[in-house]
Structure 1
């Protein structure tokens, strides 16, 4: 019997990261209509355009992963989460290091809104390695920090976590078959790594237990974004 995440159609498990300006984002969204289901709006695009970019993508038929990585006192994160889902976000993120009360406040705000949105906790950024983690005062191995933060997210009642594909197998075992595990740091074989440190191919990420992968530049900077998207989806 398939786990819940394994029953998701493969193309619907690829989230296209629109880390670009408004016009480029809308051009890509129009090209990928009918192919991709999810678009990720991060800080760069959202801070430039505000909630309107979410509304436009929704009108184009997409689900929106609003990746703003909330991290503040519970009251502030509660308000931010409510505003995000009311704008149309289908998936939102917050830093697990904000603590269980902060994450619970966000989850309560989403529940109270009546919106059917998923909540994800950022564990450790995929640009970090053990050395950069140690520079922040965390002296233990990366995998232990990820495991602790993921457990906090589960205790807070969140839908799942964002983590490197290298930790996906461990997280799937820890969180069970119903949790969302969204993995950035995914690159097709031979693609440039950019600023990512802990990476894997799309197939490796899914074999490890990821429910969704986030892919940006290998699609958005491709000569043919549609062909690039289809090639990644086919690999799954």
Structure 2
């Protein structure tokens, strides 16, 4: 499980990490915290032994992406997201070459559905666009993908064990889905083929974040035991 530190200050993030203790070893840090002083904090967490998923969703001209990824590769981050456009993916793979940083290509945002794609000018459905971008990412050599749990089964069947599948849009049973449109419970996401689950609001907004994190970890562990090796 990757806990999303979706808070608006380093002080809040520090308090949450302290409260979660050893129940969480992997954190996601995105725009909200990065633009509130969170990048040095992310580096400090990495130096303390935590794994960090820097969720920046880079998408720019190739040289800009390559140079940005080269810089991030020196910060001790574990994962970095880019949008799954071929030129962007090729540039990111080049920037990460020779480092331990793993690039994750965002296929289609989990807050999008077919109507959102149509409004943006795409003719494909979500499932069609995800399949296209998965194939492109595989051919480029991207090590991992961000996709909704709904696409995990078909994608796992396509990529086998060659790529990491990281799924946001994970909500424990009974949780509010918020702005996510393609969601699944933690156990179902693991059984669908996900390697890592990103969970933010169900932990961050919980009355007892540590208890919420431990419950999700337990559900993941139980589901993993039922997955054929």
Report if aligned partners of 2:29, 2:38 keep a CA contact under 8 Å in 1.
Answer: no
Q: How does 1:144-159 map to 2 (within 5 A)?
A: 144-159=128-143
- Local SS of the residue matching 2:21: coil
Q: Name the structure 1 match of 2:202.
A: 218
Give the structure 2 partner of residue 201 of structure 1. 185
* 1:60 CA displacement: 3.1
Query: C-alpha deviations, 1:10-45, integer Å up to 9, x for none?
Result: xxxx00000112111111112223221210000111
1:102 matched to 2:66? The reply is no
Query: In the aligned structure 1, how far is the partner of 2:183 from the partner of 2:39?
Result: 30
What is the correspondence of 1:65-80 to structure 2 with a 5 Å cutoff? 65-80=53-68
Q: Distance in 2 between matches of 1:31 and 1:175?
A: 37
Q: Does 1:34 align with 2:60?
A: no
For the aligned residues, what is the CA RMSD?
Answer: 1.1
1:50 CA displacement = 5.0
CA distance in 2, matches of 1:44, 1:122: 18
Secondary structure at 1:33 match in 2 = helix
Q: How does 1:127-166 map to 2 (within 5 A)?
A: 127-166=111-150
2 CA distance for matches of 1:43 and 1:169? 29
The unaligned stretches of length 5 or more in structure 2 are: 221-229
- 2:2 paired with 1:15: yes
Which one of 74, 77, 91 corresponds to residue 86 of structure 1? 74
Distance in structure 2 (CA, Å) of the matches to 1:166 and 1:61: 32
Point out 4+ residue stretches in structure 1 off by more than 2 angstroms.
Answer: none
The normalised TM-score by structure 2 is: 0.92
Instruction: Specify the SS of the correspondent of 2:23.
Output: coil
Return 5+ residue gaps in structure 1 as ranges. Answer: 1-13
Q: Secondary structure of the equivalent of 2:155? A: helix
Match of 2:225 in 1: none
2:167 counterpart residue number: 183
Q: Does the 8 Å contact 2:10/2:38 carry over to 1?
A: no
